[in-house]
Amino acid sequence: MPLPSPCPATLIPAYSMATRSASTPTDLSFAQLLRAHGLRATAQRRAIYSVFADAARADAANAHLSAEEVFQQARLHLPELSRATVYNALGELVEAGLLGLVEGPGPRRFDANVAPHHHFRCRHCHELHDVELAHVDVTLRERGFHVESSHVLLEGLCPRCAADAPADLR
Ligand SMILES: [Zn+2]
Ligand SMILES: [Zn+2]
């Protein structure tokens, strides 16, 4: 149990990826992982899953992709992929527990991080960032609440949009 920190909402830094490797696709063979979850390792599924691995490698706390983004990027690996195949495969990967799903506002996003976590959504660029709120449930438990699940969404401006925004948007 981590010690309480003065600021309970901490953006998960990208370097924490290594400690979360079990829940992210980077360091496991896709084929192995798919088979371990009862899915055949088809070229389509591997192309789709590798899009998430690439995104997680680029920014571990920010690998949340819409179906359309997955389609556009997976097509670069496998040009014959159809939109319907990508949408179906995404559903299968969520069902198998290999991807998380975050509902809108905006397009639903598929999440490479399947460990329990919360999100910060930028209201300008709509990007999602993983957030750890480790102490909220502890605080509630101390007050006698039985927390069974939690889905916390924080909203505002990401650092990039905050820097770009004219003063009236901030
Ligand atoms: Zn933003
Ligand atoms: Zn996430």
How confident is residue 9, by pLDDT bands cut at 50, 70 and 90? very low
Closest ligand to Cα 116: 2
For the segment(s) 16-111, the CATH number from 3.30.70.1150, 3.40.50.2300, 1.10.10.10, 2.130.10.10 is: 1.10.10.10
Ligand of minimum distance to the alpha carbon of 129: 2
Measured CA to CA, the distance from residue 170 to residue 151 in angstroms comes to 25
* Domain ranges within the chain, ordered by starting residue: 16-111
The answer to which of 122-126, 129-133, 149-153, 155-159 has the lowest mean pLDDT is 149-153
pLDDT on residue 170: 56
Give the ligand whose atoms come closest to the C-alpha of residue 169.
1
- Among 157, 159, 134, 158, which Cα is nearest to 147's? 134
Which residues have a Cβ under 8 Å from the Cβ of 51 and sit 6 or more positions away?
65, 69, 70, 73, 74, 77
**CA 15 to CA 110: how far, in whole Å?**
21
Q: How remote is the CA of residue 99 from the centroid of ligand 1, in Å?
A: 23
pLDDT value at residue 86 = 96
CA–CA separation, 75 and 93 (whole Å): 17
Distance 133 CA to ligand 1 centre (A): 20
